[in-house]
Amino acid sequence: MNRFFSTLEMRFFLKVVFIVAVAFFVFILTNYLSLYRTALSYTENILKEYSQALNRDFKLINGKLNSIAYYQDTTLPYDNTVYIITKDGFVIERSKHFTGLLDTANST
């Protein structure tokens, strides 16, 4: 009779361990998904802010691209350069004023 109870106790113990392990796994998975969603939302908000700032800074005046506000904008991060690639393949970099074909800014 004593052996029967020890087997029954062992089964109960294994069921409890299994339930705790599943609960822990669900807890970890829920936290991971929550953190992932938070990070994704934060990144999305940052990109929206940068996009709105860039749209606000670049003006097309009389067919010319005016970038003076872009170079003077303090809301954009200067240490992490924002590169803008145009449809024609031109790259506009904040730390280096562009010259040549697209240069309409008075950056002196």
Look at the block and give the residue holding tokens 């029967």: 4
Mean pLDDT (the chain, rounded): 76
Look at the pTM and tell me if it is higher than 0.85: no
Asked if 33 and 64 sit in the same domain, the reply is: no
> 43-88: per-residue pLDDT in tens?
999 888 888 887 887 777 776 767 777 777 777 766 555 666 666 6
Asked if 32 and 80 sit in the same domain, the reply is: no
Range of the domain at 46: 1-57
Inter-residue contact 50 to 82 (CB < 8 Å): yes
Inter-residue contact 92 to 83 (CB < 8 Å): yes
> 2-41: per-residue pLDDT in tens?
565 578 788 888 899 999 999 999 999 999 999 999 999 9
Secondary-structure breakdown of the chain: helix, strand, coil percentages, each rounded to the nearest 5: 55, 10, 30
pLDDT value for 81: 59
Alpha carbon distance 54, 20 (integer Å):
51
Asked if 67 and 91 sit in the same domain, the reply is: yes
